[in-house]
Amino acid sequence: MKIRWSRTILLLTPATLLAAMLFVYPVFGVLSLTVHDGTSFTGEPIRQVFNSQLSIIVLQRTFVTAATVTLICLLMGYPMAYFMAGLSPRKRVLATYLILLPFWISVLIRTYTWIILLGREGILNKALVAIGLTAEPIQLLYTPFAVHIGMVQILLPIVILTCLTSILDVERDLVKAARILGATPAQAFWKVLFPLSVSGAATGGIICFILCLGFFVTPTLLGGRTSLLIANLIDLQVHKTLKWDLAAVMASAMLAATFTCLLAYWMLTRKRAEFATGGLAR
Amino acid sequence: MTKITRRTFGIAAGALAGSLAFSPSFAEDVTIVVNGSGGALAQTITKIFEEPFTKATGIKVRPTAPVSLPKLKAMVESGNVEWDVTELNGDDVVTATKAGWLVPIDYKAIDPDNKLPAIAKQPTALVRASYSTVIAFRTDKFGGKTPQSWADFWDVKSFPGPRSLENSPKGNLEFALLADGVAPDKLYPLDVDRAFKKLDQIKKHIPVWWTNGAQHVQLLIDGEVSMTSSWNGRITPLKNEGKPVDITFKGGALMLSYLGIPKGAKHQKEALQFMKFRMDPVASAEFVKQVPYPGFVPGMMELLDPAFAATLPTSPANAAVQFDFNSAWWADNLDAVQARWNEWLLI
């Protein structure tokens, strides 16, 4: 036992040191900036952020956008995962591959693609004008609509795959049993499959929500002035206005929000092992 | 493992001897780090200034990017100064000088014959280039009419279509006041309230506020906007390629760009040598032919084709229709105005 202990420590040391040096230390630097101005403790940065209408609005907007995007991803992702679960294993592998294909392309490239598609002289607007639905091009790019589309496209594969594992995880025989006992296909789905897989879908939702909170590139490239999210505001405070203390307060607020989500995730998952691993434990 | 083998000892001794032997020649093998704005511009600077400089002096140059006041602040405050020379814009110079992040420049080393005009020689920064923020527009969107002023930029009836401006109060407040009828020589101190009131009128016609030089060009070429504020050097090459775009210098903001030496820079003597080299008229003329951002290098204008010189922001005809951007006013007021700008723009 003693030998194993020292070996474990030895194996963990490099990673721990690296994480401590490059992650924990800077994070504490950021946290200390929120309450300490270099010479003494101060509540000024926190007061300034929470008194500023702009930061409150952007914080709210970030949470609302994250929630909306997560909802859209779940509404689109769960049916897709349900469809994939019904495919033969070979076809399912192919479908998984097709879903992962865009996932492997750089976020930047995928986001730029939307600029080409949604622009005033882009394909969509040209088509709309050509079929006479609108006389003038519509402003699609640089709107919250474009930001939502861009974010959903990036996050959807993650949600589909977490939903898929949770659906596959449900014992197929249970659905069969329900059918044998006289349930209609819809009843079998809503009374058996859905309740058993919804926890896995929620896991995907929480992951999606946390990722949404930190989105930067998509709102920068596809958003207009009113689709700026908290990450953009932090960038602005660091690079434009040099208010590092205010940036630190906002970053800490996001960190707290992420930890709250992780806590929710942990509370939900500790009850059930298959939930925690998205069904991978089997 | 604690025993020093003969081999390890040999290596250690060799390394020691080596470092001793090489220490005298170390001083000659200097590399200075010159921070600039990167991109295609950096390649031109490397070819025209940095490589010939290394050939002439033996001092190597490593270019870095981008220009960033926060980075300068972080470097000087942490005492770990990587840059020996950095580009700076006008109000960066004022802010950095006040904060003590720049060293005073020894003009006896850069300009021994005292030929540079006084405007080029700030105590802590040397003027490297001048450029203008001007109106750029599509020539195919207004039925042959061309905008002539910021009032035309605000006139969405005569010149329909979306517009873009930079996501910064700098310059935009001036443009708004010019559009509202303020005389160019009466701009400063800026009437901030009046400027924001005028900006309110154009706000809804601006779907996107650009943040870098490449972006506003793209917006114009893609047809996302029909008019935008723009840096003067970006549009002319596209116009020459036959794209339907043009600029007017009327109402443009004439701005200066500087070179400065960060406090605590490791090779200040070599940095001065490099800055002196940047003031060479022949190299500067060659540079301006490729990038139309002229500095105040004496003897450079005489080396240029007069027709080309007339397209530069500092040519007498163009300078006359522009206003001098007042960096000092902005350095004093940027914090407050930027905060107001952010609230105005982003809510």
CATH code reported for the domain at B132-254+327-346? 3.40.190.10
Is-cis flag, bond preceding B147, omega within 30?
A: no
**DSSP for residue B212:** S
CA neighbor of A234 nearest in space, from A260, A252, A221, A208: A252
* Mean pLDDT lowest among A176-180, B15-19, B257-261, B328-332: B15-19
Tell the CATH topology of A53-276: MetI-like fold (1.10.3720)
**DSSP for residue A247:** H
What pLDDT, in 10s, does the model give residues B195-229?
Answer: 999 999 999 999 999 988 888 999 999 999 999 99
> Where does the pLDDT of residue B192 fall: very low under 50, low under 70, confident under 90, or very high at 90 and above?
very high
Within 8 A of B345 by CB-CB distance, chain A residues are: 225
pLDDT for the residue B15: 47
Q: What is d(CA A229, CA A251) in angstroms, rounded to the nearest whole number?
A: 12
What pLDDT, in 10s, does the model give residues B39-49?
Answer: 778 888 999 99
Q: Out of A120, A238, A242, whose CB is closest to B224? A: A120
Residue B55 has pLDDT above 50, yes or no: yes
A 13-32 → B contacts, CB under 8 A = none
CA neighbor of A233 nearest in space, from A52, A34, A25: A52
Domain boundaries, given as residue ranges, for chain B: 29-130+256-319, 132-254+327-346
Q: What is d(CA B232, CA B187) in angstroms, rounded to the nearest whole number?
A: 21
> Where does the pLDDT of residue A281 fall: very low under 50, low under 70, confident under 90, or very high at 90 and above?
very low
Nearest CA in chain A to B340: A54
B 155-174 → A contacts, CB under 8 A = 162, 167-168
Q: Is A58 on the interface with B (CB under 8 A)?
A: yes
Domain boundaries, given as residue ranges, for chain A: 1-42, 53-276
Contact indicator for B108, B282 with CB cutoff of 8 Å: no
Q: Out of A142, A241, A244, whose CB is closest to B208? A: A142
CB contact under 8 Å between B345 and A58, yes or no, is no
Type of residue at A131: I
What pLDDT, in 10s, does the model give residues A142-182?
Answer: 999 999 999 999 999 999 999 999 899 888 888 888 999 99
CB contact under 8 Å between B339 and A58, yes or no, is no
Pair of tokens at residue A243:
């208010």
Helix ranges restricted to H, B134-267: 150-154, 172-179, 192-203, 213-221, 232-240
Query: If you classify domain B29-130+256-319 with CATH, what class do you get?
Result: alpha beta
Q: What is d(CA B157, CA B284) in angstroms, rounded to the nearest whole number?
A: 43
Q: In DSSP terms, which residues pair with B63 in a beta bridge?
A: B34
pLDDT for the residue B54: 94
What pLDDT, in 10s, does the model give residues A225-278?
Answer: 888 899 999 998 888 777 888 999 999 999 999 999 888 888 776 665 554 444
